[in-house]
Every structure is written in structure tokens, then in C-alpha cells.
Amino acid sequence: MQARAMIPQPPFEAVIDPVVQTWVTGCMALAALIALFYGLIYWARSGKPTFLLLFLGGGAMMVFEPLVDTVGACWFPEVNSWVVLHAYGRPLPLWLCLTYFFYFGIGVGLTWQLMRVGLSRGKLWGLFVAGMAGDFVLEATLMHFDTYLYYGWQPLVLLKFPLWWAPVNSLITMVAAAVICRYEAYLCNGWRQLQIIPILLTVSAAVNAMAGWPSWFVINTDVGPAWTQFGGLATFGLSTWFMAMVVSTVAAPSASTIRANTAG
């Protein structure tokens, strides 16, 4: 019997261009520094390190990157790469670590600030869609320069980017911000603020699994083109369903709702 690989194998021979790596690392470092300074300024003005802890928590989400890359079939070239560490047998470059501090760190922080002011249902949905669009632009740009790549039976591919990743990444930001907003009175005082970091890590793991599992299955199983695309669509559907729960939890009440409650 012929031996078969259990899952699609990464393109181990992939190479990143040294010039591209330098530019990407520099840009992500600058973005992370801006986010860090904003967190420190917010702490100085508000007296609370909440935004800074969200920044650090966003960076800490990096620990799940090799896990989701294994089931989601994403590979970062090791040749010519400034690798920070290896996990699950996968190289994790410096620029990727910096991206987490920027993308999820400032992403969750700014979303939390908007939620606590009060957003309507429409604006929350708009923020979710904007998060997906931003993820697509960022990843499609990075992939245009071959900084990393996806492999396996990926569904819904556009400009090298499997679109199913966009709702998952956007949902992680929305759920994390919603949890902090909903329980701010408890979490944002004294030592309890330190719980923000493990909460963000838990949200990242949970949302990736809750919404991403249909795509994970079809990526690593040759089910044919139709079912492969269906897996990606299922991830969109699950992400939308969970986002509806977020909206119902943190949306500011509409004027009609307020009038009805007052009349009652």
C-alpha cells in the first residue's frame, strides 16, 4: 500500500526576498511602536493601563499562530527569514510577531473604545465588515510580495488570499473587544486588569475553532471543489451568526427601544 501524507505538506522550499523582509519588518515595527505609544499615552491620561494590556494581549495571541497555521495551511518561508522561534515545527518570523501587536493589539483596543462609547447595530456590523476588508487588503498586499503563502485545498481564494480567514480574524477582534466592554467594570480595576491578557488568548483560540473548523476540514481533506467552497462559506455563516450575538450584547439601544421602555 502506498504511504500518503495525512495532511497537505507545507512548501518547505519557499523563500522570502531579503529586501521585502526588511521593508515589511520595518513597517510592522513602526506600526507596533505607534500602538505602544498610544497605549502609554492612554494610561497616562486615564490612569488605567487597559489599552496597553490589550496591546500586549494582542501580541500574546501569537502563541496560537502555529496551531491555526497547521490546520489552516499557512506557511511562512524559513529561507532568508529572520525567524524568532519555531513552534509545531513552523518558523515564525519577526515581522509576523510585530504584526500581532499592531493588528490585534490596536485593533481590539480601538474597537473596545468605540464599543464603550456606544455603537448602533448597524455601526457594529459596519465595523465587522470593515475588519474583514482591512484584513483582505493587508493580507493580499503581503502575499503579493510572497511574504507567506497558503497551501492545501483552500476555499474562496482571491488574489492568493483564502477569503474565509477574513471573517474569522475580524470576529476575533469584535468578540475580544465585546468581552472587555461588557465586563469593563470588573476587569478594568486594580489587579483584575491583568486578566485581560489571558482573556484575549482564550478568545483567540475559541473564535478560531468556532468559526474556522469547516474550512479546516476541507483544507485538509480532498472532498472535491464543491464541498471545499462550501466549507469556506460555512465559516462565513458561522462568523455572521456569532457576530449577531456580539451585536445583541453590546449594541446601544435605538431611540425606538428607549421610547418603548419608557412608555412601559
pLDDT tens profile 166-216:
999 999 999 999 999 888 877 777 788 889 999 999 999 999 999 999 999
Contact call for residues 159 and 236 (beta carbons, < 8 A):
no
Q: Say how many C-beta atoms besides its own lie within 10 A of residue 245's C-beta.
A: 11
CA-to-CA separations, 181 to 118, 129, 144, 205, 216, in angstroms, rounded: 10, 20, 36, 19, 30
Q: Quote the CA–CA distance of 115 and 16 in Å, as a whole number.
A: 39
Residues 6+ apart with CB under 8 A from 28: 95, 98, 99, 102
Cell triple for 117 = 462609547
Q: What is the torsion angle, in degrees rounded to the nearest 10, for the CA atoms of residue 158, residue 207, residue 54 and residue 170?
A: 30
Would 186 be classed as within a structural domain?
Answer: yes
Instruction: Report the pLDDT value the prediction gives residue 4, as an integer from 0 to 100.
Output: 58
Would 11 be classed as within a structural domain?
Answer: no
Would 75 be classed as within a structural domain?
Answer: yes
Q: Which residues of the chain have pLDDT under 50?
A: 1-2, 255-264
Would 105 be classed as within a structural domain?
Answer: yes
87: helix, strand or coil: strand
Instruction: Report the pLDDT value the prediction gives residue 253, as an integer from 0 to 100.
Output: 65
Q: Quote the CA–CA distance of 28 and 150 in Å, as a whole number.
A: 21
Instruction: Report the pLDDT value the prediction gives residue 191, as an integer from 0 to 100.
Output: 81
Q: Quote the CA–CA distance of 57 and 136 in Å, as a whole number.
A: 22
DSSP state, 194?
G
Q: Quote the CA–CA distance of 167 and 178 in Å, as a whole number.
A: 16
Would 232 be classed as within a structural domain?
Answer: yes
Residues 6+ apart with CB under 8 A from 10: 73, 75, 90, 151
Q: Quote the CA–CA distance of 59 and 142 in Å, as a whole number.
A: 19
Would 9 be classed as within a structural domain?
Answer: no
User: What's the structural domain count of the chain?
Assistant: 1
Would 6 be classed as within a structural domain?
Answer: no
Instruction: Report the pLDDT value the prediction gives residue 5, as an integer from 0 to 100.
Output: 60
Which residues form the domain of 193?
18-252
Mean residue pLDDT of the chain comes to 89
Contact call for residues 50 and 42 (beta carbons, < 8 A):
yes
Instruction: Report the pLDDT value the prediction gives residue 90, as an integer from 0 to 100.
Output: 92
Would 198 be classed as within a structural domain?
Answer: yes
Cell triple for 31 = 506600526
pTM above 0.95, yes or no: no
